[in-house]
Amino acid sequence: MTRLAGRMTALSGWRRLLLAFLLGALMSLGFAPFHLFPVFWIGFGGLLLLLRGVHRGRSAFALGWWFGWGHFIAGLYWIASAFLVEPDKFAWMVPFPVLGLPALLALFPAIAVWLAWRLSGPGTWRLFLLAAGWTLAEVARGEILTGFPWNLAGYGFGFADAAMQPAAWIGTVGLSFVAVLAGGAPALALVGRNHWRAPVAILLGTLVLVGAGAWRLSNADRTPSDPHAPTIRIVQANIAQRDKWRPDLIEANFARNLSMSLPSVTDPMPDLVIWPETAATFRINADLAARQRIAQVATQINGLVITGAPRTEGTAGATRFFNSAVAINADARIIDSADKRHLVPFGEYLPLRGLLSRIGLDKLAQGRGDFSSGEDGTGGLLHLPGLPPARVLICYEVIFADEVGSGESRPGWLLSLTNDAWFGTLTGPDQHFAMARFRAVEQGLPLVRAAGTGISAIVDAYGQVQGRLDLGVKGTLTGALPGHVEKSLYAVTGRWPMIAIICMLLVVPLITMIMGKRRQM
């Protein structure tokens, strides 16, 4: 192994960049649905070894970029599925999301690798700086240009329920820092004699952290479910995206959701029926007849129906469209709604529409014009009679950890409505579901997830799956709403204390570098 490490360090030119690309691509196996955490040892460890042979800043930047490009191509290739729903209109754009988007995202790890090279020499300190830089780059990736914090390194700990639990204390941002440290640690032992102490300490620390997560699970509240807990029925109609908005199928699709919502002999009577994102494909506030049909279900269960649906506001001349979650009662009234606030660029709205529409671009979602971002003052909370308030997260809103806990009051549960039919049957839906489970752990709140084609699930406040409907399955899932746990540390502090601690690792070397430049002037 030491000889192999030496050969990797000696690589240069296109061979070094090609290996970096392959190592980055291999890293995607560390996420759902594979959850092969040991590939982090190969990926981050190999990156550290390749960085030892770099002697110029631009070479370090190029190394990080090629590593990141491979990483994001392999992890995000499933995005092509969304552009093939209507291939006659959007297939020509596939190279842009599959190759172009990863090329832009690769700038973040490129900066992290350059910083680690610039601020330290080979060794343990470089690994710590790489972990700090990589984590802060992920934070920036979740903010810049509306943000896209997909497949953060911390999600590598999704391989076991116990490994996820530290997210309740340090969040995914803290787990990302640990994941890079643990991934690169074994490589430190390959670069010379007596270099085993630091990697052993790092790996033991990681095991202690996972062990603490196992302890948390072993001490979880195992009391029987509250007999008064509301019973929820999730409807997963499994309607393909290409069929969802077809005029000749809209009525049949609507009827399918209605018939699947009706009480069954074998399942307990639900208090609440939940449909996924845009399961109702009409302007729900403007279609009384459709709401009355939904109200028949609410009448039979003596409860409520929540559906994702387009919602409109304003006059005919200035109508605004919202992607909403709407609660309907037995009187066909909308008793409360929550609008999606974090919209998908190019999916739900076209950035720079005045310019880009001239060259033939449009958003992927059906309908004229763009969706508007929700501006409700409730922080996305849905208030329902007889139930605790729910924090609504529509589609990829659930991947933004810092936004989940926002609101005027703490919710009693998380409600995620999504339409992963856009992602096909590739790795995207599995990755999306895995990230959603981390939100439950971070907040100490149960999560109910309704997905049009899967994966729908009921998840407890520890991120453990209590029931699920797999991808591509038509069916329903009925179960009691799990209870929440005592407010987690992360729910109280958020991510900023962890970010501040990580930033401190970069402060001293940055000051040293700046002062050194001043002395040379």
Active site residues: 277, 340, 395
Assess contact for 135 and 172: CB atoms under 8 A.
no
Assess contact for 73 and 427: CB atoms under 8 A.
no
Distance CA 471, CA 456 (A): 8
Query: Residue 474's CB: how many other CB atoms inside 10 A?
Result: 14
CA atoms within 13 A on the CB side of 509: 19
The phi, psi pair for 32, rounded to 5°, reads -60, 145
CA distances from residue 100 to 21, 73, 96, 351 in whole angstroms, order as listed: 15, 9, 4, 17
Q: Which two tokens stand for residue 434?
A: 């895995």
Q: Which two tokens stand for residue 395?
A: 């589609």
Query: Residue 229's CB: how many other CB atoms inside 10 A?
Result: 16
What DSSP element (H or E) covers 489?
helix 489-493
Query: Residue 6's CB: how many other CB atoms inside 10 A?
Result: 14
Q: Is the dihedral of CA 290, 415, 223, 386 positive or negative?
A: negative
Distance CA 418, CA 327 (A): 16
Among 159, 156, 166, 168, residue whose Cα is nearest residue 210: 166
Q: Is the dihedral of CA 66, 176, 172, 402 positive or negative?
A: negative
465, amino acid identity: V
Q: Which two tokens stand for residue 293?
A: 């049909």
Distance CA 451, CA 456 (A): 5
CA distances from residue 90 to 46, 80, 351 in whole angstroms, order as listed: 37, 10, 17
Distance CA 411, CA 399 (A): 18
186, amino acid identity: P
Distance CA 374, CA 88 (A): 32
How buried is residue 22: exposed, middle or buried, by Cβ count under 10 Å (0-12/13-18/19+)? middle
Assess contact for 370 and 349: CB atoms under 8 A.
yes
Which residues make Cβ contacts (< 8 Å) with residue 22, sequence separation at least 6?
A: 70
Distance CA 307, CA 339 (A): 12
CA atoms within 13 A on the CB side of 223: 6
Say which residue the tokens 């096909």 belong to.
424
Query: Residue 477's CB: how many other CB atoms inside 10 A?
Result: 22
